[in-house]
Amino acid sequence: MNKSDLAKAVSDKTGLSRAQAGDAVDAAIEAIVGSVKGNDSVQLAGFGTFYAKHREA
């Protein structure tokens, strides 16, 4: 599943337009990325945990 497929699934489940669902998916991803970049972890129950892992080059 790619981001477009996810937006379609959100649209189908919520009744939002595809554009609105796409905006919601984009906002959620941006929020996750912003938190991880700020060295916070993001935990979504039943889905996963996202965090930055620093590795040597």
4 phi/psi in degrees, rounded to 5: -65, -40
Q: What is the pLDDT of residue 34?
A: 96
Closest CA to 41 of 21, 14, 33: 33
Q: What is the pLDDT of residue 19?
A: 97
Q: What is the pLDDT of residue 6?
A: 96
Query: What is the Cα–Cα distance from 21 to 15, expressed in whole angstroms?
Result: 9
- Please say if the pLDDT value at position 57 is more than 90: no
Express each pLDDT in 3-56 by its tens digit: 999 999 999 999 999 999 999 999 999 999 999 999 999 999 999 999 999 889
